[in-house]
Amino acid sequence: MNHYPIFTQLHQRKVLLVGGGQVAERKASALLQAGAQLKVVAQQTTSRFQDWFAAQQAEHIATEFSPALLSGVFLVVAATNDPALNRQVFLAAEAAATFCNCVDQPACCSFIVPALIDRSPIQVAISSGGHAPVLARLIRQQIEKLLPFSIGKAAALAGRWRTQVKQTLQHLSERRRFWEQLFQHSRFSQFVASGDEKAAESLLQQQLNAHQPLTQGEVVLVGAGPGDAGLLTLHALQALQAADVVLYDALVSAEVLELVRRDALRISVGKRCGNHQVQQQQTNELLVKWAQQGKRVARLKGGDPFVFGRGGEECAVLQAAGIPFRVIPGISAGLGATAYAGIPLTHRDYAQSVLFITGHQQLAAQSHGWHTLAGAQQTLVIYMGTLTAAEISRQLIAHGRAATTPVAIISQGTLPQQTVSTGQLHQLASLAQQAATPALIVIGEVVSLRQQLAWFQTSSAHESVAAA
């Protein structure tokens, strides 16, 4: 994040505007609407400026800019057609520790002015950080279509009731749920849109009187996918935005965590091979603890909760504790990472089945059924198998799989730093030693199709091919 977004209160604050042309006029109009005490430094101005001066809405300083004019000024805007003068204003503002914006000169800005959607008191700001203001404006136009004009009236009405709601509902989480119920699951917004504010307030009062605090929350097991935040489902995003507490795994990417509601409590319960930061029993206890306190808990898991994610165990614990829960599926790494690597899991000519297994357990156990795993015309996808890659390779070859069978190891699947190493089954151990983790092993003839499907590979993927 290159800029910290803020909305500044300018009411009755002194603002200095340097410039008197049409661009400065647009800036002045917005500053006056925000209630600023505007001083305009310009020897020549447009007729609209003259109207503002005549109505004493702004003060005209018909001189050249001087750093002394910054005394007592809250912020300054330079909007002249002289880049050198704008830079002079910026440097003077920097020396005076005053916020400054120079129009169309990002390097001379300590703050930027975003594209704005104004449904006062609701405001939505879109910024490109000065890189692509036209793109920001186009995004604003798209969002404008989604927001009803009455949303500002709804916010203003809610604001008048905020104190009463706060006095009635003592806990922040209860107030949040009350407002969510009012805005999303009642006719409140419809009444406001139709202009019937009396009916809207009556409904608000009824719901406030009838509101019952929750003594028990719920848990949502959310599949975070293999890493790329764009692969989250809509339901998963909604759950992350609604959660009061989020327990997340080590494999959940930073991009996905950025989508969690800002004020939600985040708790890492990550487990990586050889480093169990939090034991499963502790995770189970945390889920029950927070839900019993009436919190909405999101259990955020890499991939899919029910694919090697121990989601079934956690659901059983919640069921035994009488806590309501639901599961939101996610794209498993076996599906997402292979797709991003350009490797189809099945193919009419090469593989009629696919098996998903984990490789971190004792592979010598007969329960693995090596004869089944070594079968031809199938794809084998192995999670957490890099540490046991040598044993996997030895057993598969010993049970009939050709030593020349194509293999791939996909590291950091679906992320910009994804890498794909390919080779043959007898080379699997050496490939695994070089692979970054987390990694996914793919074994089968479908791996050879990766070269033919190169057009499908993400531009960020890097391939290293083992020597034959």
Q: Quick one: pLDDT at residue 205?
A: 96
Q: Would you call the peptide bond into 416 cis, given omega within 30 degrees of 0 as the criterion?
A: no
Rg of the chain's alpha carbons, rounded to an integer? Answer: 30
Report the candidate in 72, 98, 8, 82 with the shortest Cα–Cα distance to residue 44: 82
Q: Which of 170-174, 177-181, 325-329 has the lowest mean pLDDT?
A: 170-174
Mean pLDDT of 221-227: 96
44: annotated binding-site residue?
yes
412: annotated binding-site residue?
no
pLDDT in tens, 243-288: 999 999 999 999 999 999 988 999 999 866 555 567 899 999 999 9
Instruction: List b or e across 5-22, with b for residues whose CB sees 16 or more CB atoms inside 10 angstroms.
Output: eeeeebeebbbbbbbbee
Compute the C-alpha angle 109/110/113, nearest 5°.
Answer: 70
pLDDT-based confidence at residue 365 (cuts at 50, 70, 90): low
The two tokens of residue 391 are: 């044993």
CA distance 29 to 87: 23
Report the candidate in 105, 42, 34 with the shortest Cα–Cα distance to residue 74: 34
Tokens 């107030």, located at residue: 175
Whole-number Cα distances in Å, 381 to 241, 283, 332, 359, 436 = 33, 28, 11, 10, 17
Q: Which residues, at least 6 apart from 1, have a Cβ–Cβ distance to it below 8 Å?
A: none
pLDDT-based confidence at residue 458 (cuts at 50, 70, 90): very low
The two tokens of residue 75 are: 């912020």
332: annotated binding-site residue?
yes
Of all helices (H) and strands (E), which one includes residue 449?
A: helix 449-452
Q: Quick one: pLDDT at residue 171?
A: 85
Report the candidate in 146, 108, 112, 107 with the shortest Cα–Cα distance to residue 129: 112
In the predicted structure, residue 463 carries a pLDDT above the cut 80: no
Domains and CATH numbers, the chain: 14-113 (3.40.50.720), 151-210 (1.10.8.210), 218-331 (3.40.1010.10), 334-465 (3.30.950.10)
Which residue among 271, 289, 295, 349 is the active-site one?
Answer: 271
Of all helices (H) and strands (E), which one includes residue 37?
A: strand 37-41
Q: For strand 99-102 and strand 75-78, is the pairing parallel, antiparallel, or unpaired?
A: parallel
Which residue among 228, 249, 295, 301 is the active-site one?
Answer: 249
Q: For strand 462-465 and strand 419-424, is the pairing parallel, antiparallel, or unpaired?
A: parallel
The dihedrals phi and psi of 113, each to the nearest 5 degrees, come to -105, 115
CA distance 44 to 39: 14
CA distance 452 to 455: 8
In the predicted structure, residue 296 carries a pLDDT above the cut 90: yes
% pLDDT > 70, the chain: 93
| Residue 111 near residue 134, CB atoms below 8 Å | no
Mean pLDDT of 369-388: 92
In the predicted structure, residue 146 carries a pLDDT above the cut 60: yes
202: annotated binding-site residue?
no
23: annotated binding-site residue?
yes
In the predicted structure, residue 467 carries a pLDDT above the cut 50: no
The neighbouring-strand residues paired with 276 are 271
Q: Which residues, at least 6 apart from 9, have a Cβ–Cβ distance to it below 8 Å?
A: none
| Residue 101 near residue 41, CB atoms below 8 Å | no
226: annotated binding-site residue?
yes
Mean pLDDT of 289-296: 92
249 is catalytic: yes
Whole-number Cα distances in Å, 259 to 255, 326, 429 = 7, 20, 37
CA distance 310 to 312: 5
333: annotated binding-site residue?
yes
Please, what is the average pLDDT of the chain? 91
Q: Which residues, at least 6 apart from 75, have a Cβ–Cβ distance to it below 8 Å?
A: 8, 10, 13, 15, 16, 98, 99, 100, 101, 111
Q: Quick one: pLDDT at residue 363?
A: 55
1: annotated binding-site residue?
no
In the predicted structure, residue 241 carries a pLDDT above the cut 60: yes
271 is catalytic: yes
In the predicted structure, residue 298 carries a pLDDT above the cut 80: yes
Distance from first CA to last CA of the chain, Å, rounded?
A: 45
According to the per-residue pLDDT averaged within each range, which of 188-202, 264-278, 360-374, 441-455 is highest?
Answer: 188-202
302: annotated binding-site residue?
yes
CA distance 186 to 183: 6
Of all helices (H) and strands (E), which one includes residue 160?
A: helix 151-168
Q: Which of 20-34, 100-114, 206-220, 423-437 has the lowest mean pLDDT?
A: 206-220
Report the candidate in 90, 97, 127 with the shortest Cα–Cα distance to residue 5: 127
